[in-house]
Amino acid sequence: MSSAATATATTSASDFGRPMNAPAPSRIASIDIVRGLVMVLMAIDHVRVYSGQPAGGPTAGIFLTRWITHFVAPAFIFLAGTSAFLHGRKLANTGALARFLLTRGLWLVLLELTVLRVAWTFNFDFSHYLLAGVIWVIGWCMVLMAGLVFLPQRALAVFGLVVVFGHNILDAFSQTLFPIMEKSSWGWLMQILYYGGAIQLGEHRPNLFILYSIIPWIGVMALGYAFGHVMLKDAPSRRKICLALGTAAIALFLVLRGFNLYGDPRHWSAPKPPAELSQSPVKPQTAAPSTQSSGASTQTPAPNQAKPQQAASNSQPSASSTSTPSTSTPSTSTPSTSTPPRRPQAPAWISFLGTTKYPASLLFLLMTLGPTLLMLAWLETASGPVARVLTTFGRVPFFYYVLHIPLIHLAAIVVSLVRSGSVSPWLFLNHPVMIPPAPDGYLWSLGLLYLVWAIVVIALYFPCRWFAALKQRRKDIGFLSYL
């Protein structure tokens, strides 16, 4: 992402819409630190992908291992918008910023579909699998922002608020929309924009798995861009605003979630008493042919089928973040009726925090962006060795991202060699989503997962420190800003 910066003087409300002709400001430490922190957290989830552990579950350890990483995408995309605004202050005009966003966005999409796809899988099976992950959605959001930056700043802020706060209205119409979309030749577009899932790119062509839909993330990036004005204020003022906005977001989350009012398709609930549970029958299920992945207790949508995002091993469970991940294998049998075993109930606090990430609900965004804003305030004056390490990561987030996936993948291969004396073929399948369950005996413990994560993060520090110094020293190399 582009460099974060700030001006030494404050700005007023009239600054909204002013042409980008202000002098280039200096860096804001809290942005780099927060961005570095979420990069470190992100590595936990990506180590989890190769550990065989599910993406959430009814036990505290598994649930929190996934939940703590939910802060990554919202902070990453929000601060990408902020960085775009601040980068624009250093450019000659809005047109120059638009060109930068357009070219950088397309560059990110290209890397997601090529370099990063190979890094995730260590195979070249492009004919069956392409992934549209977080870098994909950041890229397309930047492309859209290349046009949106010409709007007045107030209009752009309103656009972001409408998208983020309004998109869950579609929840009430989902059952009506799905059959229409399945029959429509434009269903794939709705999957890219909102519902996600697998899209077959023509007969005998690969599946493009939409993990991150454009809505609501374009709204998050637009709000991050508008938030850039806050970062131009003096430190005490921006700290006060960040505290107020963060507290308000958390309070709104608690009210809307606590009373199940609005903002998430899944309501939370307390576990039923054993006596009541035993009296409620388990409904039989009709087992239709499907392809399920154990990593996320979800059913992968069929090609060109417009269904809500139910991502596989790199996502949270589809029924809820609290559900027990499925371990069923792909079925091709004749449809039959059976009574499934009753899933364990999750504690109420897990149900409460188990908001929807795919597509990201309003409550998911309030739950994650609220604390992110508080961290921006609290870390304004952070110092010491930990802050310096996080700052290093935060200054080169995309470079970190490109390196950390193949490094984690290689670490998983080493772990497989050490534990079993051979490399599991499972590690060369189409991670992180369209994969079968990990083979018997492969599953890592949480302790091993966190040990590998710590080793990977330490190893990443040295190349990131080198690249951050290179970017600082060689500002004449324009291409470095794309990494």
Of the pLDDT bands very low, low, confident and very high (cuts 50, 70, 90), residue 312 is very low
pLDDT of residue 292: 34
pLDDT of residue 186: 84
Of 32-41, 114-123, 313-322, 349-358, the poorest mean pLDDT is in: 313-322
Helix (H, G, I), strand (E, B) or coil at 427: helix
Question: Which residue in this structure is represented by tokens 């994969």?
Answer: 435
List the domain boundaries for the chain. 27-269+349-482
pLDDT of residue 120: 97
138/336: higher pLDDT: 138
pLDDT of residue 182: 78
Mean pLDDT, the chain, whole residue set: 83
394/346: higher pLDDT: 394
pLDDT at 9 over 60: no
Distance between the two ends of the chain, CA-based, in angstroms? Answer: 7
pLDDT of residue 309: 40
What the block records as the tokens of 348 is 């109420």
Nearest C-alpha neighbor of 84 from the set 413, 481, 370: 481
Of the pLDDT bands very low, low, confident and very high (cuts 50, 70, 90), residue 303 is very low
Provide mean pLDDT across the span 212-220. 97
Hey, what long-range contacts does 159-165 have (CB within 8 A, 24 or more apart)?
Answer: 159/219, 159/222, 160/219, 160/220, 160/221, 160/222, 160/223, 160/225, 160/226, 161/219, 161/223, 162/219, 163/215, 163/216, 163/218, 163/219, 163/222, 164/216, 164/219, 164/220, 164/223, 164/362, 164/365, 165/362
Report the share of the chain in percent with pLDDT over 90: 64
Tens digits of per-residue pLDDT, 161-195? 999 999 999 888 888 887 888 778 888 899 999 99
pLDDT of residue 220: 98
